[in-house]
Amino acid sequence: MKNIGVLALQGDFHAHIKALENAGAHPLEVRTAQDLAACDGLIIPGGESTTMVKLIGLENLLEPLRAFGQSKPIFGTCAGAILLAQEVASPAQPSLALMDIAVERNAYGRQIDSRVAKIDADGEQMDAVFIRAPIIRRVGPDVKVLASYQGNPVWVEQGRHMATTFHPELGTNPHIHRRFAAKV
């Protein structure tokens, strides 16, 4: 069984660990480059992207994460999607730039505007939990859109990488985590 790490510096990493277990995968908490080296794939969870960037810097994980993403799959949810994006706006911030997407931070609104919406995701109906979610404003030619909400991509895939602007780990449908586990 492949080891799928969950970046455990900040954010909702515990829910991803449970979702991976429910999907039949073997999750590991990742806090250091040594932890990352034991993984075959990685999830970067939701949380606060500015805080995550600072913590990644403090733990000297920026370059190890970029190198990991050059050969192994990464799945980013919400703040994780921001960290995978090539372009980040509102405001601009550093990212891993591993996916050819442009995102606008907190574009669905403030915390009070958070919502659960029904989406058709890869042929399945599911609840999508949006919490201060980014909007994907641009996708590159090699990016496949797997689900949209209000006309905007909310689940995308490019090669080995995936990103959602919502939180699939907070729903009951294991489809997205199973798909990522299969990529690993």
Catalytic residue among 16, 157, 161, 167: 167
Question: Is 39 a catalytic site residue?
Answer: no
Question: Is 169 a catalytic site residue?
Answer: yes
- DSSP H or E stretch at residue 36: helix 33-37
Record the pTM: 0.95
Residues 6 or more apart whose Cβ sits within 8 Å of residue 50: 93
* 8-state DSSP, 143: P
Query: Higher confidence at residue 1 or residue 74?
Result: 74
Q: What is the pLDDT at residue 168?
A: 95
Question: Is 175 a catalytic site residue?
Answer: no
Catalytic residue among 78, 104, 157, 177: 78
Do residues 60 and 36 lie in contact, with contact meaning Cβ atoms separated by under 8 Å? no
Is the model's pLDDT at 29 over the cut of 70? yes
Catalytic residue among 16, 161, 169, 177: 169
Q: What is the pLDDT at residue 118?
A: 94
Straight-line distance from the first to the last Cα atom of the chain, in angstroms, rounded to the nearest whole number: 10
Average of pLDDT values for 39-66? Answer: 95
- Position 3 confidence tier, pLDDT thresholds 50, 70, 90: very high
